[in-house]
Amino acid sequence: MDSQSRTLKMILIAGYAFLYIPLLVIVIFSFNEARLITSWTGFSLKWYRELFSDTVMLRATLTSFQIATIAATIAVILGTLAAVTLVRFPHFRGRTLFIGLAAAPLVMPDIITGLSLLLLFVGLHHLTGWPESRDAVTVTIAHTTLAISYVTAVVQARLVEFDRSLEEAALDLGASPLKVFFSITLPLIAPAIVTGWLFAFALSLDDVVIASFVAGPGATTLPMVIFSSLRFGISPEINALTTILILFLSLSMVIATIIMRKTQRPAS
Amino acid sequence: MKRVFKRAKKTPYDILSQRGHGLIAAIPYLWLIIFFLIPCLFLLKISFSEAVLARPPYTDIFKILPEGLLQIRLNVENYLTLFRDELYQMGVITSFIIASISTLCCLLLGYPMAYTIARSSKKVRSILQLLVILPFWTSFLIRVYAWMTLLSPTGIINGILLRMHVITEPLALVQTPFAVCLGIVYVYLPFMVLPLCMSITKIDAELLDAAYDLGCRPLKTFFTITLPLSFSGMIAGSVLVFIPSIGEYVIPELLGGSETLTIGRIVWNEFFINMSWPVASALAILLILFIVLPISFWQRWKEVKT
């Protein structure tokens, strides 16, 4: 038993090493002076300086953050509505189709989602003249569609587990259904909504395939810029960018977890 | 009295159902129909059209003739091409092999990890789980890029091996099917570990205690109790890894060579390079029909059954 559990622990450590060492290497070498990653030639911040003077990269970062913020916000609203529909309305016409539609984007490969949405935009343009050109708006729509499913799944899980008698009690005491939703239901599912928003934001900030299909020349997102530079090989500038992104994402992740722990404890 | 009783049974949503109900459901429903279902129908439609040099580069299969009749011309040539041309068959086989091997590797590495995490105390468990999710929150592209830097001929692994004089010239690690599998395992491992963790945690500890009390050895207990009871987690994890990896584009493009031409890369090339939108659509439809739909239906059926 002892040797077995030791072996298991070794595998666990190896697994974590596998997950973290590649990222750690990038972070370390982002401070390397040399262009090549084979050898360490000295500490330098020159790749960070280069990154911050790269206007293409900076503009793409701004575009990506705008798209991610708007897409995540719309997705959270629509996803919450979808989750409420699925959990609280057990019978309505077309429910089966709705369940399918809400879950399907989760299993659809990105390349198909991207292709099909592009065909929709081209077809719509052909028929109605909208969208005039493909730009940040089309990317935002695509990312929202993808993210709705994730938000729905997260909020749905939370709605299922919480005590419904709270809502019923408020209603008996004379609160209107809307008031019940905003003062009872919404605060109780708030942690799930925050998680869903962060998830949607990260999804949007992460996507290269769908954006490549639906973004016109008007909007180049950060992952698209990174992807096209990666096709030409390794670039130390990307190391610097990676370090900043890792710092930003893990920090917000840790903050979100702390918030969730704090809000969840009294409820459970 | 009767009225009060009746009202108490109603939930806010029952009252809403007369007016607000429809509105709440309608907004997300409409969005998903317009931006998910209809695009799939467009995909289907264009897969039956012909490629032409125009904007958009396909023919319309519906045409209203001068006499007021609707003419529908379905072109199955795109599908026939897919079945005839060896390139596409190779693509399907390559994708299938790569996705299967990667899923298996994820399972082999993910299971012991999930098992150890699930068996640790509650506090440690939540930290360990967070550590599995954390890399998932750093950009996907960057995680693929990390392996490019490690595996490339001027990368770290080759650098270390060269300096230690294990090899005399850089190994061709990147641009191989091996690198693609490694990349997929790396990126999708959390998808395997988390569902496994959940299903192993759920197993009743008393069952295991009972088995030990009755003199069952740990290894036998594992194979007769834990493994069968965590089967649903294995399936869920495998589906979560297999589906995205069969349609994966970025990983084979960046880590694979020209011989790892997967379905995802073929769709991309047909679309962006050959400008053959109908063939790309037909391939996408086949992928949905033969892989995405069966797996989701099967999974749903399993869920309903349990």
Domain of B255: which CATH number? 1.10.3720.10
> B153 and B194: one domain?
yes
Would you say residue B295 lies in a domain?
no
> B119 and B203: one domain?
yes
Task: Flag the least confident range among A26-40, A115-129, B80-94.
Answer: A26-40
Does B250 reach chain A within 8 Å, measured CB to CB?
yes
Cα atoms in the Cβ-side hemisphere of radius 13 Å centred on A92: 20
Nearest CA in chain A to B108: A11
Q: Token pair of B34, please?
A: 């317009």
Percent of chain B past pLDDT 70, that is, above it, reads: 93
Q: Do A26 and B145 touch (CB under 8 A)?
A: yes
Would you say residue B283 lies in a domain?
no
Does A195 reach chain B within 8 Å, measured CB to CB?
no
> B206 and B246: one domain?
yes
Which tens digits make up the pLDDT trace of B64-76?
777 777 777 788 8
> B122 and B52: one domain?
no
Average pLDDT, chain B: 86
Question: B14: pLDDT confidence band, cut at 50, 70 and 90?
Answer: low
Give the whole-angstrom CA distance, residue B29 versus residue B106.
Answer: 35
Instruction: Compare B227 and A233 and report the one with higher pLDDT.
Output: B227
Does B178 reach chain A within 8 Å, measured CB to CB?
no
Average pLDDT over residues B198-204: 89
Domain range annotation of chain A: 55-267
> B210 and B67: one domain?
no
Average pLDDT over residues B149-177: 85
Q: Do A22 and B147 touch (CB under 8 A)?
A: yes
Average pLDDT, chain A: 86
- pLDDT over threshold 80, residue A156: yes
Give the whole-angstrom CA distance, residue B249 versus residue B256.
Answer: 10
Q: Which residue has the tokens 């369940």?
A: A99
Which tens digits make up the pLDDT trace of A79-117?
999 999 888 887 777 888 888 888 888 888 999 999 999
* Residue (of B245, B199, B279, B235) closest to B98 by Cα position: B245
Q: Do B130 and A257 touch (CB under 8 A)?
A: yes
- Residue A107 has its nearest CB partner, among B16, B280, B295, at B295
> B21 and B139: one domain?
no
Nearest CA in chain A to B115: A8
How many other CB atoms sit within 10 Å of the CB of residue A266? Answer: 6
Question: B8: pLDDT confidence band, cut at 50, 70 and 90?
Answer: very low
Question: A76: pLDDT confidence band, cut at 50, 70 and 90?
Answer: very high
- pLDDT over threshold 50, residue A196: yes
- Single residue among B72, B102, B124 that ends a domain in this structure: B72
Its domain, for residue B59, covers: 2-72
Give the whole-angstrom CA distance, residue B186 versus residue A14.
Answer: 13
Q: Token pair of B169, please?
A: 């010239």
Q: Do A115 and B281 touch (CB under 8 A)?
A: yes
Rg of chain B taking only CA atoms, in angstroms: 26
Q: What is the pLDDT of residue B92?
A: 92
Nearest CA in chain A to B149: A234
Percent of chain A past pLDDT 90, that is, above it, reads: 35
- pLDDT over threshold 90, residue B211: no
Spacing of C-alpha B94 from chain mean position: 16
Does B117 reach chain A within 8 Å, measured CB to CB?
yes
Would you say residue B229 lies in a domain?
yes
- Give the homologous superfamily in CATH for domain A55-267: MetI-like (1.10.3720.10)
Would you say residue B96 lies in a domain?
yes
> B108 and B231: one domain?
yes
Q: Do B116 and A111 touch (CB under 8 A)?
A: no
The residues near B285 (Cβ < 8 Å, ≥ 6 apart) are B43, B44, B47
Does B274 reach chain A within 8 Å, measured CB to CB?
no
Secondary structure in 3-state letters for chain A: CHHHHHHHHHHHHHHHHHHHHHHHHHHHHCCECCCCCCCCCCECCHHHHHHHCCHHHHHHHHHHHHHHHHHHHHHHHHHHHHHHHHHHCCCCCCHHHHHHHHHHHHHCCHHHHHHHHHHHHHHHHHHHCCCCCCCHHHHHHHHHHHHHHHHHHHHHHHHHHCCCHHHHHHHHCCCCHHHHHHHHHHHHHHHHHHHHHHHHHHHHHHCCHHHHHHCCCCCCCHHHHHHHHHCCCCCHHHHHHHHHHHHHHHHHHHHHHHHHHHHHHHHC
Would you say residue B234 lies in a domain?
yes
Q: What is the pLDDT of residue B20?
A: 66
Q: What is the pLDDT of residue B93?
A: 93
Question: A208: pLDDT confidence band, cut at 50, 70 and 90?
Answer: very high
Would you say residue B280 lies in a domain?
no
Are A189 and A155 contacting, i.e. CB atoms less than 8 angstroms apart? Answer: yes
Q: Which residue has the tokens 């068996």?
A: B119
> B107 and B236: one domain?
yes
> B21 and B163: one domain?
no
> B99 and B132: one domain?
yes
Q: What is the pLDDT of residue A163?
A: 79
- pLDDT over threshold 50, residue B6: no
Cis peptide before A131 (omega within 30 of 0): yes
Q: What is the pLDDT of residue B57?
A: 80
> B33 and B109: one domain?
no
- pLDDT over threshold 50, residue B293: yes
Question: B184: pLDDT confidence band, cut at 50, 70 and 90?
Answer: very high
- Single residue among B18, B45, B72 that ends a domain in this structure: B72
How many domains, in total, are found in chain B? 2
Would you say residue B192 lies in a domain?
yes
